[in-house]
Structure 1
Amino acid sequence: MAATLPTRSIQVPFTTWSFSLNPGPFSLKEHVLITIFASSGSSGVYAINIITIVKAFYHRSIHPVAAYLLALSTQMLGYGWAGIFRKFLVDSPYMWWPENLVQVSLFRAFHEKEKRPKGGSTRLQYFFLVFVASFAYYIVPGYFFQTLSTISFVCLIWKDSITAQQIGSGMKGLGIGSFALDWNTVAGFLGSPLAVPGFAIMNSLAGFVLFIYVVIPLSYWTNLYDAKKFPLISSHTFDSTGETYNVTRILNPKSFDIDMDSYNNYSKIYLSITFAFGYGLSFATLTATISHVALFHGKMIFQMWKKTASAVKAQLGDVHTRIMKKNYEQVPEWWFVSILILMVMMALVACEGFGKQLQLPWWGVLLSLAIASVFTLPIGVIQATTNMSSGLNVITELVIGYMYPGKPLANVAFKTYGHISMVQALAFLGDFKLGHYMKIAPKSMFVVQLVGTVIASSVHFATAWWLLTSIENICDEALLPKGSPWTCPGDDVFYNASIIWGVVGPKRMFTKDGIYPGMNWFFLFGLLAPVPVWLLSRRFPNQKWIKLINIPIITAGASSIPPARSVNYIMWGIVGIFFNFYVYRKFKAWWARHTYILSAALDAGVAFMGLILYFALQSNGIFGPEWWGLDADHCPLARCPTDSGVYAQGCPALELPS
């Protein structure tokens, strides 16, 4: 446009205003603003999970206006917390947000004039080379040869052994001997490992190894909590016979809450051992985050709070903060407050109006937002320093599950308002830090984030509504055609969580009334575990490696399983260790010049080919050629129970002992 449109100034009649059709040269700051605009909605809209489970899993209706208000308000509430905590999580030089370095590196590659080294390439040329290669290659694991997304050697050798496939499966088992030749497997669930600091990768892998290769095998093969009645790894819920839990047997169809007589005559709710301990890890991560931040960062946070209150916070600022404060007008506090008040009102209308379809009363909305405001700062500190974070989804489920049991939609609505408003706040703050590094006017950042969030929420909602009303048997894996991508693994976890925390409730799950009261010990474990690390760091201040032990990251190490799989962690760890340890030490100059660009190019190539595959093939019901390579993993028995007398479809029947 800058090269072709006329530069002549056009006067607006009867005013002093004028404009030009020519936008001028495309600048670095414009590029950053466009990126922030796009990233405001790139992570999806969490509230769509609620709409999905209502329509695709519970097969009920929800008013589209209520659904849209829910989607928009949950995405926008984070602006309020962002305004409150930006002084601590953006202006502070200690909060460096490592993920932003990928984008900073990419922007410089695009815009800085660089002379191509002899025999090499510029960073921009390197980006396009990797992008084209990633784009072209992904059609193989994404369509023609989907087995490459998870290759499990053990299952190919022992085709008739349930135990061997449980050990070897990268999707439904421990993943020993499993690997992938697919970048989407590496980064799909856990994000690109190239953007994660090496110490954070090691902490996360330590948690994964302890959980998947120590805790889970010991618990499963000692039959803790009747674990052998159920699959080793599953996000589904089960009854006492090992069958999938039939939630319709305990739900009142009119009031859509639990019928206690039916529940007492049916069964308590059971989980796979991995799913159960995953909740335990979530409990530990929550308290460990509070304890870790208080011990390791509490003094700094307190000092910043005092300096902020006394209006001398500039002493804590780095060169970026000083330049920003000197050259740009800050976003007024009332902008954030106004949006916060408006979104709270919208949330109350969505939950209390439209026949109270979402079941959540007004006090539940306000309580969920209070929880989000309390946890935004400590979890923000973890994310801004390690690129790893934990959510509030479990603690919010726990709170409302005790206070308002038997209401599945009230539970997930409370969880969404409490959890996602904090997540959105941290996403906004991360973007503010990117603008901070790139010297973008804060008001400009605010506007593009605001507009981007509104547009993205609307598009996500419209797309989801279209898919849910047009794709037959969406999210029902048993009825979908082979190779279909519409299996909804994340929504399946969300649905089963609504049964666990909403319909049945934590009192009938995690107390003596249920099966898993032992999981509550993880709260205490998480609270105390950072203490010895902190004491050792004080006792041996010269041993810097001690401070790199991060208990919240360790406890959260494998908490994404399910829906993430062991092969995702294995490949994420292998690639992360190779680049952030081996390449970093042996080829430091190459690492500094190319690693973040490599990460961005690989992500972009997979994303663009994924779009083309959907619009050209998958949207027309074409999911891949019918042959052996269409299936990933090839471990069908890994999902089978191993308790005698329990039968699952597609699994061999194990005889009862004589």
Structure 2
Amino acid sequence: MTDFEEKKQSLVTEIEEDSIEGTFENLTSLQDKNSADIIEVELSGNASDNTVNVFSSSYVPERHEIQLDFILDRYPLLTIDEALDIVKKAEEYHEDDFNFPIPTMEKLHMLVKGPEQSGLTLEEYEIELCLEAVLMKFHSPYPEVRAVTNPVDDPSEYVETIRAYIIGLFWSGVGSMVAEMFQARQPALTLKSTVLQLLVYPCGMAAAKILPDLGITIRGTRHSLNPGPWTYKEQMFATIMTNTGGRFSNLINYVFLFGLPVFYDQTWVGFGFMILLNISTEYFGFGMAGILRRWVVYSPKAVWPTMLPTLALNKTLLLPEEKTAIHGWTMTRYKFLLIFMIGSFVYYFLPDFLFQALSTFNWMTWIAPQNKNLAFITGSILGLGFNPISTFDWAVINNQQPLVTPFYATLNYYLGAVGGALLILALYYTNYKSTAYLPINSANTFDNEASKYNVSRVSQNNKLDIDAYKNYSPPYLSAGNLVRQGAAFAQYTLSFVFVGLTDWRLLKSTFYGMYRSIRYRNSSGYNDFDDPITRMMTAYPEVPDWWYYCILLISLVMGIIAFQLYPLGIGVWIIFVVFAISMALLVPSAIVYAVSGYQLVMNDFMALVGGYLAPGSGMGVLMCRFYGWNTDTQAETFVSDLKLGHYAKLPPRAVFRGQMVATFLHVFVTIGGIYTVLDVIPDLCTTGQVDRYTCPVENGMFTSVTLFGTIGPDRIFNTLYPGLSYCFLVGALVAILFYFLRRYFPDKCRYIHPVVIMSGVASWGQTYNLSYYTPGMIISYFFMYLMKRRYLAWWTKYNYVLTSALTAGTAFSAILIFGAINYTRTTVNWWGNTVYKAGVDGTTAARLTLNEGEYFGIRRGTFS
């Protein structure tokens, strides 16, 4: 062993033992030996209270690649006074930060008080203070971000190459097709960004070896087909392009509601209409993403936990690592990825094909299959899913991304879902508003004979026929759907008021930044932030705001053309109102998503708005809901990818061009996916569809459109469900309550997020239940809480790689099963594939039944 290697090993050992003595001497002696060497430092996380970690306690003990010259070059640059000022500012800035580690905040409090009260010697205090300041000023205060990003950047690294465009567009098209084809399935399947990244990587590596060095020169810059090795930034650039289409459907499957016989059966819906809607809504979301940058891209508080696995996987694939031991594990991340991905691929054949009861593991109902109450409470299909072990299927477990979303957010969401379930039980068993005559948790709307509501009986020329309505029935909601509607209404005011109160400084500064960008075209949004990543990004020209404003204008024009050319029966002025409301709601929604990892759903509010703007018009409400949901969803998708590029230090204008091109392709591919689904899937969007294409989201949409469109909000709020109107007030009051609780009890209420809790309450009414949330909660507690606290080194190295591997293997297996087995109607008929749906849980039973000729609810002739 050479002298350098001995000192390197000594450094690793001393940091593992968390001893300060001698470590700095080793660091200094190593600086001249090999300052560019990247050392894989192993940290055990078992530091005692009276020792000092050379990388400071905020640099949570973890396995992390640390470039020695980065630490060594910056440590001497800070004076004690400068370091103290940095720490004080960090303490103030992150005081109300959900994602800021509590131990780190406690450490900042201690350092700010001075060496006398720290319990450290003056020398130890100064080392701690300076190292803490180095991380705050030159890296990231979040251990999750430090684990997947680099503190340095190389602006000369290839990014926007010809081969990156080719590979990115190809897999964007594949991802778009898969997402659209499986959107209507329960559970839906998509090629998530981590999966697409695994497909992009071998293509990029092969292109670097196979393609010739041919190119063209444009404005003095040569663009080669093969400029050299496939780079980290090329990989991220291509991945961002695939994310445009591959993360999930763009929800153009709303056209199912226009065209399918089970919904509105409008035969005029075709290619031209879909093209105009798709371009209008997608590019409006794209334009909004540019405006949102100041809130959720540049701000360091916007962690975007859902983006971190993509960055972790990119490091696993493209950056070298040494084979070192972490808690006895010596396996490289790449080998770990392959093993678990192959295992997941093989295993998924069990729950999805050979033994489907493992996926829907409603074992409690097997005890007494015909017991309704047992099925209502514990069932996974009809029931509420109170079941501690409800699935062995990663596609179900991963419903809320438990290895990605912070544990506090998963816990808040789960508590909200449990609270919603208890409220559903209370409504159902008291027969509130006749809910006991209906399935306990259904997305459908029902008539007074418990049949699916037939809108065609009360609608003529897309308008409500009052006489027909009086002779038929009002629409009734299941207990689950009623809870969802109320929670959704409360969520709108809750999120708007809560974010406005807690983040008013950020909102104020960014609105001023928008004003400044309009008045001074050359101003930069980077000027409002001083975190390390933003400072590094100033090396690249920023995308001017007016580029995004032009895209917003073009998308608006396309929407106007659609309203004018097709018989929607509503005025074009509605599109301006919906766009304005979408922009207002999008700011708090994006902030919550960026911090917690949970995406708020604002579509029901748009349906309500549509009900007032176009009274009695189901088509009008459908269009409002379509624009409201799709523009917001697309905006949050695009802006999350902007954050991904921000973390990876990609040139913003390159990301802009890549997203523009990939979006254009996505528009056409998704429409092709719709036509494919319509051609090959029988009985689409019907209950019990053989391939699980039951369209839970689409049925939920139809319920909302029926309520607030055809019937109208006045009838819903004044006659049928008057309590729903008070939910808006409840949301605002809850926001004010939690704001003051966090203000006066910051430590006790630090991780209570009322918006995420309300999102959990609103998760009902679309056939998803606790059987989809409980397994993820258990997994999140184990990995995102216990493992992260006790085995941080292992967690940092393997956690995000594990979720990528399991998700990728499951997705590849699902596609193979669908294409080679389900499509050919190949089945395995045995107990393991029938038991889960053999009892009441597999039906649409209700607690109370009707005799022939009977009906429930408001007496006919007494409503209008």
TM superposition score normalised by structure 1: 0.91
- How far residue 241 of structure 1 moved from its aligned partner, in angstroms, is 2.5
1:237 lines up with 2:445 in the alignment: yes
Give the equivalent residue in structure 2 for 1:655: none
Task: Give CA-to-partner distance per residue, 1:162-194, whole Å, 9 cap, x none.
Answer: 111111202221212351000011124x3x111
Residue number among 503, 514, 526 corresponding to 1:297 in the alignment? 503
1:201-280 equivalent positions in 2, closer than 5 A: 201-212=410-421, 214-252=422-460, 255-280=461-486
Task: Give CA-to-partner distance per residue, 1:205-237, whole Å, 9 cap, x none.
Answer: 11111111x211111111111111111111111
Specify whether residues 249 and 91 from structure 1 end up closer, same or farther in structure 2 by C-alpha distance, changes over 3 A only. Answer: same
Partners of 2:494 and 2:734 within 8 A in 1: yes
1:163-202 equivalent positions in 2, closer than 5 A: 163-177=373-387, 179-188=390-399, 190=400, 192-202=401-411
Partners of 2:250 and 2:634 within 8 A in 1: no
1:40 lines up with 2:244 in the alignment: yes
1:495 lines up with 2:702 in the alignment: yes
- How far residue 535 of structure 1 moved from its aligned partner, in angstroms, is 1.6
Specify whether residues 56 and 114 from structure 1 end up closer, same or farther in structure 2 by C-alpha distance, changes over 3 A only. Answer: farther
Partners of 2:441 and 2:767 within 8 A in 1: no
Counterpart-to-counterpart distance in 2, 1:241 and 1:308: 55
SS in structure 2 opposite 1:509?
helix
Counterpart-to-counterpart distance in 2, 1:308 and 1:246: 48
Give the equivalent residue in structure 2 for 1:335: 547
Q: Which runs of 5+ in 2 are unaligned?
A: 1-206, 517-522, 854-864
Q: Which runs of 5+ in 1 are unaligned?
A: 649-658
Task: Give the structure, 1 or 2, with the largest relative contact order (CA under 8 Å, sep 6 or more).
Answer: 1
Give the equivalent residue in structure 2 for 1:651: none
Counterpart-to-counterpart distance in 2, 1:635 and 1:163: 16
Counterpart-to-counterpart distance in 2, 1:156 and 1:632: 7
**Count of residues in Structure 1 that have an aligned counterpart in Structure 2:** 630
Counterpart-to-counterpart distance in 1, 2:458 and 2:446: 13
SS in structure 2 opposite 1:40?
helix
Which structure has the larger Rg? 2
Counterpart-to-counterpart distance in 2, 1:20 and 1:228: 68
| Aligned amino acid, residue 614 of structure 1 | F
1:379-458 equivalent positions in 2, closer than 5 A: 379-458=589-668
Residue number among 741, 753, 774 corresponding to 1:536 in the alignment? 741
Give the equivalent residue in structure 1 for 2:318: 111
- How far residue 533 of structure 1 moved from its aligned partner, in angstroms, is 2.3
- How far residue 646 of structure 1 moved from its aligned partner, in angstroms, is 5.5
SS in structure 1 opposite 2:245?
coil
Residue number among 811, 815, 820 corresponding to 1:616 in the alignment? 820
- How far residue 332 of structure 1 moved from its aligned partner, in angstroms, is 2.1
- How far residue 553 of structure 1 moved from its aligned partner, in angstroms, is 0.7
Specify whether residues 247 and 315 from structure 1 end up closer, same or farther in structure 2 by C-alpha distance, changes over 3 A only. Answer: closer
1:49 lines up with 2:259 in the alignment: no
Partners of 1:149 and 1:632 within 8 A in 2: no
Partners of 2:413 and 2:759 within 8 A in 1: yes
Task: Give CA-to-partner distance per residue, 1:497-548, whole Å, 9 cap, x none.
Answer: 222222212222222x3x211112211111111222222222234x2x4122
Residue number among 759, 762, 775 corresponding to 1:556 in the alignment? 759
| Aligned amino acid, residue 130 of structure 1 | F
Specify whether residues 15 and 272 from structure 1 end up closer, same or farther in structure 2 by C-alpha distance, changes over 3 A only. Answer: closer
Give the equivalent residue in structure 1 for 2:529: 316
Give the equivalent residue in structure 1 for 2:716: 509
Task: Give CA-to-partner distance per residue, 1:412-435, whole Å, 9 cap, x none.
Answer: 111111222122112111111110
Counterpart-to-counterpart distance in 2, 1:332 and 1:526: 37
Partners of 1:171 and 1:566 within 8 A in 2: no
1:628-639 equivalent positions in 2, closer than 5 A: 628-631=831-834, 633-634=836-837, 636-638=839-841, 639=844
Give the equivalent residue in structure 1 for 2:84: none
Counterpart-to-counterpart distance in 2, 1:444 and 1:285: 36
Task: Give CA-to-partner distance per residue, 1:252-296, whole Å, 9 cap, x none.
Answer: 1xx132211100111111110110111000011111101210121
Give the equivalent residue in structure 1 for 2:493: 287
SS in structure 1 opposite 2:291?
helix
Partners of 2:417 and 2:763 within 8 A in 1: no
Counterpart-to-counterpart distance in 2, 1:100 and 1:18: 32
- How far residue 346 of structure 1 moved from its aligned partner, in angstroms, is 0.7
SS in structure 2 opposite 1:173?
coil
Partners of 1:73 and 1:343 within 8 A in 2: yes
- How far residue 197 of structure 1 moved from its aligned partner, in angstroms, is 0.7
1:473-488 equivalent positions in 2, closer than 5 A: 473-477=683-687, 480=689, 483-488=690-695
Task: Give CA-to-partner distance per residue, 1:46-94, whole Å, 9 cap, x none.
Answer: 1222345522523331132012211222112112212222122211122
Counterpart-to-counterpart distance in 2, 1:114 and 1:508: 64
Specify whether residues 81 and 315 from structure 1 end up closer, same or farther in structure 2 by C-alpha distance, changes over 3 A only. Answer: closer
Give the equivalent residue in structure 2 for 1:565: 769
Counterpart-to-counterpart distance in 2, 1:170 and 1:30: 43
Counterpart-to-counterpart distance in 2, 1:632 and 1:103: 38
Counterpart-to-counterpart distance in 2, 1:377 and 1:278: 22
Specify whether residues 17 and 226 from structure 1 end up closer, same or farther in structure 2 by C-alpha distance, changes over 3 A only. Answer: closer
Q: Which moved more, 1:340-349 or 1:41-50?
A: 41-50
1:352 lines up with 2:564 in the alignment: yes
